Structure 1
Amino acid sequence: MRIAIVTESYPPDVNGVAHSVVRVAEHLVRRGHQPVVVAPASATRPTPDRHHPYPVVRVPSVAVPRYRGLRLGLPGPRLTEALAAHAPDVVHLASPFVLGAWAMTVAGQRGLPTVAVYQTDLAAYARLYRLGWTEAAAWRRLRSIHNAADLTLAPSSRSVADLVAHGIQRVRLWRRGVDAVRFDPAKADDELRRSLAPDGALLVGYVGRLAAEKRVELLAPTCRLSGVRVVVVGAGPADRELRKTLPDALFLGELHGERLARLYASLDVFVHPGPHETFGQTVQEAQASGLPVVAPAAGGPVDLVSPGRTGFLVPPDDGRAIADAVATLAADPGARRCFGTAARAGVTARTWAAVGDELVAHYRTVLTAPAPRIAA
């Protein structure tokens, strides 16, 4: 099968969309399929992407106002030429909004089946970053794009419900995979622990982009807990402000690969304060690493965290509730161990191979019985 994956984000971007596109494309190659990835040009990687086992076509891009580091791919002939050259059987649209919307139009003109993957709460982004769109306008655009697709895939039950509530049709649940070989509690590093908390403090970690929608500032009450050290891993436009807001936290910047795996495994508790996650990949990586998780009762974490079994779900936007949940875990080492063991057991079967095969099944569905496209 020939698949064209048109994505709004791709490495060197560090986010859930970019990561999942790489894993999907790699899986398709392993299964004998022929993917091509069409992505925005990177400001930091002007040279061709030659290290992937599949072709990557870059299209012109522009920086997103008020969101440093993110670029929008521009519709134009480069994308049209890429689709014509690859002659795909199906077009996969990863978090479509600008580049993906143009790809949907081109696919419609050519009669190509389309699978649209909803992965970013763009309505919340429009509100937080004042991008010139209201939430209602963002939802109108999403409805127009996704209702033109033969199938929309959403990563969590909350995302499915949100899409259906906003009039989006033909929605199915498709979760994300996790590498439980890379993320493994056996990689805990005592020397790393001592370097992060030489006084033996409980290590509480956040991993993710440092941006307004992640609400990392809500960790301030947790930073003030006695015997607790908060470790922040990531980069982004809110980095400088967060260092001022959380002066007692330890900021490590971006970590990748084995360094990130050792960091996860060396923590005691994982926290993710952002209420706008459509899935929550870092939550799942922390669980694979054997960590109890504290997260808001909103979005993707609702599917991932089992309260009182693998961690705690707290009211969204409530830093005090996060701190209280962390304090409860800090006081009970036995509960931390039990929660962490249950968390890993719950995700080890959710491999990228398994979810990749589910995706291929969705491709075959639209190839055999494409649904009529419906205008918003």
Structure 2
Amino acid sequence: MAESFLPRVNGVTNSVCRILDHLAARGHEALVVAPAPGPDSYAGFPVKLVPGVALPVYKSFVVGVPGRQVENALRAFRPDVVHLASPVVLGAAGATAARRLGIPSVAVFQTDLAGFFRRYGFRGTDAMLWSWLRRVHARADRTLVPSSPTFRELEEQGFPRLELWGRGVDQTAFHPRHRSAELRARLAPAGEKLIGYVGRIAPEKQVELLTRLVGVPGSRLVVVGDGPAERRLRGLLPEAVFLGFRTGGELSEIVASLDVFVHTGANETFCQAVQEALASGVPVVAPAAGGPLDLVRPGVNGLLFPPSDGTSLRAAVTTLVTDDAMRARLAAGALPSVRPRTWEAVCDQLLAHYSEVIYGSAARHRAA
């Protein structure tokens, strides 16, 4: 059950696709249930689409509207385990159906919904959202959590049966060898250092903090992505280079060609963009909150700043832009810091979690 899937590209979709690629390579069978619109297959696996409705506050975020087709799909496919990718609405229906059919399930916590809605002006919703998510995840046999700060938060919120499970990074697509002198010459014709942001241009990413980087000596800001706050941010940053949404080889080349990678949002449960920058050999400046705390090691591969503190963000970026020796040292430490985090290793860990809930469920049934 994927709360988000192609053609929408985000952290949930990316991880689901990598998992499906791994399952296909290992000879497993899978069925994807996801919101429409979308493809009818992926990696040779069928995709069952359910009606989807866009959120009023974020048109590109589509919520699946489940019905009987969820349970019918599971009944027909008869899986050994149900994978619930960032379950909220469709995933909640999947968790309920799996329990009714006696199928073990693994839920993956990926989205800080409380933080997301807070950034869109919905105040006083935290307790309600946490209560709902806690009930959804309580129906699963195991919840996998992407970072240690998020793990601690879910423990405090009373989520049961938690295990830590991170994300992999494609170290072929993201690697220092993709650094392009030609691209750098186009983006920084006067030899400026390139400061880059890659991600959704949206309130929950706190992209307004990028305005604090205007005028950092000897630098140029590059923004990659799209989203509801793009028009406003373009107006606030007339000197920045906006490259729009990029994927594939173009994105690999852009990220590797940066001198400093900046992430602004303080509500990340993991932050794949930070990991991709590190794999590309680029030092990272990120908030000292959530997922980046597991990825950025100050003085080794980047710097951290207090969440939402634009002054500290500017100071950290200025330090890296102006101190060539420090920037080179942190760049050298970037790729080694994520080298063990391959998708193959991470997906093998996931298969082990599947096996444990499958055989644990079988043992419970035998005992009963």
Classify the TM-score, shorter chain.
over 0.9
Deviations 1:122-164 (A, max 9, x none): 1112222356970100000011011111100000001100100
Shift of 1:359: 0.2
Provide the rounded CA distance (Å) in 2 between the counterparts of 1:133 and 1:363: 36
Provide the rounded CA distance (Å) in 2 between the counterparts of 1:51 and 1:303: 31
1:294-309 alignment, distance < 5 Å: 294-309=285-300
1:71 and 1:133, CA in 2 relative to 1: closer, same or farther beyond 3 A?
farther
1:348-359 alignment, distance < 5 Å: 348-359=339-350
Shift of 1:226: 2.0
Q: Are 2:25 and 1:7 equivalent residues in the alignment?
A: no
Matched with 1:270 is 261
Shift of 1:51: 5.3
Provide the rounded CA distance (Å) in 2 between the counterparts of 1:21 and 1:276: 21
Among candidates 303, 306, 319, match of residue 315 of structure 1: 306
Shift of 1:181: 1.1
CA contact (8 A) 2:112 2:267 kept: yes
Among candidates 332, 345, 356, match of residue 336 of structure 2: 345
Shift of 1:275: 0.2
Matched with 2:180 is 189
Name the aligned partner's letter for residue 325 of structure 1: A
Deviations 1:243-263 (A, max 9, x none): 112222111001101100000
1:13-32 alignment, distance < 5 Å: 13-32=8-27
1:221 and 1:130, CA in 2 relative to 1: closer, same or farther beyond 3 A?
closer
Name the aligned partner's letter for residue 356 of structure 1: C
Report the 3-state secondary structure (helix = DSSP H, G, I; strand = E; otherwise coil) of the residue aligned with 2:182. helix
Provide the rounded CA distance (Å) in 2 between the counterparts of 1:56 and 1:345: 37
Report the 3-state secondary structure (helix = DSSP H, G, I; strand = E; otherwise coil) of the residue aligned with 1:209. coil
1:74-223 alignment, distance < 5 Å: 74-130=65-121, 134-223=125-214
Among candidates 320, 325, 328, match of residue 316 of structure 2: 325
Matched with 1:39 is 34
Provide the rounded CA distance (Å) in 2 between the counterparts of 1:341 and 1:90: 41
Matched with 1:49 is 40
Deviations 1:273-325 (A, max 9, x none): 10010001000000000010000000000000001111101000011211111
Among candidates 243, 246, 249, match of residue 258 of structure 1: 249
1:64 and 1:282, CA in 2 relative to 1: closer, same or farther beyond 3 A?
same
1:106 and 1:51, CA in 2 relative to 1: closer, same or farther beyond 3 A?
closer
Shift of 1:238: 1.0
User: Sequence identity, in percent?
Assistant: 52
Name the aligned partner's letter for residue 351 of structure 1: T
Provide the rounded CA distance (Å) in 1 between the counterparts of 2:63 and 2:142: 24
Provide the rounded CA distance (Å) in 1 between the counterparts of 2:23 and 2:328: 37
1:290 and 1:157, CA in 2 relative to 1: closer, same or farther beyond 3 A?
same
Shift of 1:77: 2.2
CA contact (8 A) 2:210 2:264 kept: yes
Deviations 1:96-123 (A, max 9, x none): 0100001111111101101000000011
Report the 3-state secondary structure (helix = DSSP H, G, I; strand = E; otherwise coil) of the residue aligned with 1:275. coil
Deviations 1:51-107 (A, max 9, x none): 532111111011111112111000102222221221111001000010000111111
Among candidates 283, 300, 306, match of residue 292 of structure 1: 283
CA contact (8 A) 1:104 1:148 kept: yes
Report the 3-state secondary structure (helix = DSSP H, G, I; strand = E; otherwise coil) of the residue aligned with 1:35. coil
Q: Are 2:274 and 1:279 equivalent residues in the alignment?
A: no
Name the aligned partner's letter for residue 344 of structure 1: L
Report the 3-state secondary structure (helix = DSSP H, G, I; strand = E; otherwise coil) of the residue aligned with 2:318. helix
Matched with 1:67 is 58
Provide the rounded CA distance (Å) in 2 between the counterparts of 1:316 and 1:51: 38
CA contact (8 A) 1:176 1:355 kept: yes
Provide the rounded CA distance (Å) in 2 between the counterparts of 1:131 and 1:71: 18
| Gap runs ≥5 in structure 2 | none
CA contact (8 A) 2:143 2:161 kept: yes
Name the aligned partner's letter for residue 141 of structure 1: W
Deviations 1:312-366 (A, max 9, x none): 0100001121111111111222221221121101112211000000000000110
Provide the rounded CA distance (Å) in 2 between the counterparts of 1:313 and 1:53: 42
Report the 3-state secondary structure (helix = DSSP H, G, I; strand = E; otherwise coil) of the residue aligned with 1:369. helix
Provide the rounded CA distance (Å) in 1 between the counterparts of 2:215 and 2:7: 34
Shift of 1:219: 1.2
